[in-house]
Copies of this chain bind each other. A is one copy, B any other.
Amino acid sequence: MTENGRFTRDKVLTIDTMNPTIKKVDYAVRGPIVQRAVQIEKELREGVKKPFTEVIKANIGDAHAMGQQPITFFRQVLALCCYPELLNDNMFPEDAKNRARRILQACGGSSIGSYTASQGIDCVRQDVARYIERRDDGVTCNPDNIFLTTGASDGIVTILKLLVCGEGTTRTGVLIPIPQYPLYSAALAELAAVQVNYYLNEEKCWSLDLCELERSLEEARKYCNPKVLCVINPGNPTGQVQSRQCIEDVIRFAAKENLFLMADEVYQDNVYADGCQFHSFKKVLFELGPEYSNTVELVSFHSTSKCYMGECGFRGGYMEVINMDPEVKAQLSKLVSVRLCPPVPGQAILDLVVNPPQPGEPSYNTFIKERTATLSGLAEKAKMTEEILNTAPGIRCNPVQGAMYSFPNISLPEKAIKEAKALGQAPDMIYCMKLLEETGICLVPGSGFGQKEGTYHFRMTILPPRDKLKPFQYASQHVTANWPHIPALTN
């Protein structure tokens, strides 16, 4: 047992004996760049001298971390739910108290510390259904089709789990946009499903091109069984907003090709560009008539983490399942029961998002003021981000029509690309690392989302406040101007 005085025993779990599918999982949004950013923050705290005084986390859509204020009403209700003694106090408005009472009454023992139904609290699901009906101009929504989730990620992974099966050329293929939000590639790797890429058209503002969908599907049928089509609208990381026509085309395509549709619509309130509007897949599906609305299988995902609320830490969300086979739905209910229930504070926040203060209620004016300020602030930042990036030489940025991200194209000199390849790293990864080291700005390289061969990008959120956005312009110019001399590439 001992060897040179040290006790040794072969480990059961090593990199060689572990689950190989987990090794293939990648998630760039929290990858090496972010790990280095955390280290740098620590170094700054310890007094290490840097050319900057703080790390600016433009890598992740984390609104509150970038200074966005929570909606007062939401947090008042949450505080009341956590500590119902406050219901006896006069400091909270009556509508906040009423919402809290309603949520508490729906909880076992009137405590948000109880488990709820695995599908989520009944009255919250009813509120979600009414919200969807309002959003979709009256298209009916059955609360039985609503499943509350632990953020949208949880819902997406759960639905993919149901869908993936088969071996070899019959293995389930899942069409995802490229660039994509890397939860998709990570989940598909973990489930050993086949990732089928369709490329968004950067030249046409990252729009979804039907010919490309057709090409991708036809190709995929040679090596797997493609049966799922994922769409992210408004787009992450690409910030485009799909036109109604495009959504209609996608639905017709899914119907014709017998594909299960997954619509990631977590940025549904984040639409900034003139002439752009959010159209839900559900609504367009129903407008196409019963031939479609009675048959096409669709799941739509939403979350409390984005839009104007930005309550990422609460991990709230829901999905609506449409035209799901009843036996499969029973299996879904069973599957979600294993994890007991989504976090109840997240369910409570979701309830407030879908059932906010109404005209005439005491909190209405403040709520509208706060929501409007946040959304118009984001719209302004979207525009500013695009402008700042487009003034930097070598950077080309599409308009940020919606969501919370820009995904600009960067021209890297041949020499830099060659050297990066020699180092076995993605050129845009080295570019982002360099930018971080020199400026403290934390971005995610485009290679983490996927991009057309030979193109390079990064994702930058639009969230940092105006004064923190300023250094971006300098930073972009500095790094692009110094490309041939980027030390990390010449070390």
How many whole Å from A290's CB to the nearest CB in chain B?
5
Given contacts A27-B338, A65-B115, A91-B89, contact A13 B161 (CB under 8 A): no
Given contacts A7-B290, A331-B23, contact A75 B82 (CB under 8 A): yes
Is the pair A343, B62 in contact by a Cβ cutoff of 8 Å? no
**Which of B2, B23, B112, B324 lies in contact with A313, CB distance below 8 A?**
B112
Given contacts A153-B339, A343-B314, contact A325 B14 (CB under 8 A): yes
Residues of the B chain whose Cβ atoms lie less than 8 Å from the Cβ of A291? 1-2, 7
Chain B, residue nearest A38 (CB): B117
Given contacts A260-B12, A335-B22, A343-B315, contact A109 B66 (CB under 8 A): yes
The answer for the CA separation of A343 and B316 in the assembled complex, in Å, is 9
How many whole Å from A69's CB to the nearest CB in chain B?
8
Assess whether A422 is interfacial by the CB under 8 Å rule: no
Is the pair A12, B338 in contact by a Cβ cutoff of 8 Å? no
Is the pair A183, B22 in contact by a Cβ cutoff of 8 Å? no
| 11 contacts across the A-B interface (CB closer than 8 A) | A18-B163, A18-B328, A19-B161, A66-B109, A78-B83, A89-B91, A113-B309, A150-B315, A313-B341, A313-B345, A314-B343
Is the pair B108, A64 in contact by a Cβ cutoff of 8 Å? yes
Max chain B C-beta neighbours (<10 A), residue from A154, A255, A313: A313
Assess whether A490 is interfacial by the CB under 8 Å rule: no
Residues of the B chain whose Cβ atoms lie less than 8 Å from the Cβ of A259? 12
Residues of the B chain whose Cβ atoms lie less than 8 Å from the Cβ of A258? 9-10, 12
Is the pair B328, A14 in contact by a Cβ cutoff of 8 Å? yes
Residues of the B chain whose Cβ atoms lie less than 8 Å from the Cβ of A344? 313-314
Residues of the B chain whose Cβ atoms lie less than 8 Å from the Cβ of A57? 108
Chain B, residue nearest A347 (CB): B313
Chain B, residue nearest A160 (CB): B19
Residues of the B chain whose Cβ atoms lie less than 8 Å from the Cβ of A151? 339-340
**Which of B18, B109, B150, B297 lies in contact with A165, CB distance below 8 A?**
B18
Assess whether A44 is interfacial by the CB under 8 Å rule: no
Interface residues of A in 281-333 (CB under 8 A from B): 290-291, 294-297, 309-315, 323-325, 327-328, 331
Chain B, residue nearest A256 (CB): B9
Given contacts A13-B325, A313-B111, A346-B343, contact A7 B295 (CB under 8 A): yes
Residues of the B chain whose Cβ atoms lie less than 8 Å from the Cβ of A334? 25-27
The answer for the CA separation of A250 and B22 in the assembled complex, in Å, is 29
Chain B, residue nearest A349 (CB): B113
A: residues with CB less than 8 A from B are 1-2, 6-15, 17-20, 22-23, 25-27, 29-31, 38, 57, 60, 62-68, 70, 75-76, 78-80, 82-83, 86, 89, 91, 107-109, 111-118, 150-151, 153-154, 161-165, 183, 186-187, 190, 227-228, 255, 258-260, 290-291, 294-297, 309-315, 323-325, 327-328, 331, 334-335, 337-346
Residues of the B chain whose Cβ atoms lie less than 8 Å from the Cβ of A31? 337
Chain B, residue nearest A191 (CB): B19
Q: How many copies of this protein are present in the complex?
A: 2
Chain B, residue nearest A70 (CB): B113
Is the pair B79, A83 in contact by a Cβ cutoff of 8 Å? yes
Is the pair B186, A331 in contact by a Cβ cutoff of 8 Å? no
Is the pair B313, A13 in contact by a Cβ cutoff of 8 Å? no
The answer for the CA separation of A86 and B85 in the assembled complex, in Å, is 13
Is the pair A113, B345 in contact by a Cβ cutoff of 8 Å? no
Residues of the B chain whose Cβ atoms lie less than 8 Å from the Cβ of A17? 165
How many whole Å from A433's CB to the nearest CB in chain B?
18
Is the pair B153, A19 in contact by a Cβ cutoff of 8 Å? no
Given contacts A27-B337, A323-B11, contact A113 B162 (CB under 8 A): no
Given contacts A7-B295, A13-B162, contact A116 B18 (CB under 8 A): no
**Which of B163, B294, B338, B342 lies in contact with A183, CB distance below 8 A?**
B338
The answer for the CA separation of A154 and B162 in the assembled complex, in Å, is 19
Is the pair A163, B13 in contact by a Cβ cutoff of 8 Å? yes
Residues of the B chain whose Cβ atoms lie less than 8 Å from the Cβ of A66? 108-109
Residues of the B chain whose Cβ atoms lie less than 8 Å from the Cβ of A227? 12-13
The answer for the CA separation of A38 and B144 in the assembled complex, in Å, is 14
The answer for the CA separation of A13 and B163 in the assembled complex, in Å, is 7
The answer for the CA separation of A332 and B298 in the assembled complex, in Å, is 32
Residues of the B chain whose Cβ atoms lie less than 8 Å from the Cβ of A78? 79, 82-83
Is the pair B114, A64 in contact by a Cβ cutoff of 8 Å? yes
Residues of the B chain whose Cβ atoms lie less than 8 Å from the Cβ of A112? 313-314
Is the pair B314, A113 in contact by a Cβ cutoff of 8 Å? yes
How many whole Å from A380's CB to the nearest CB in chain B?
19
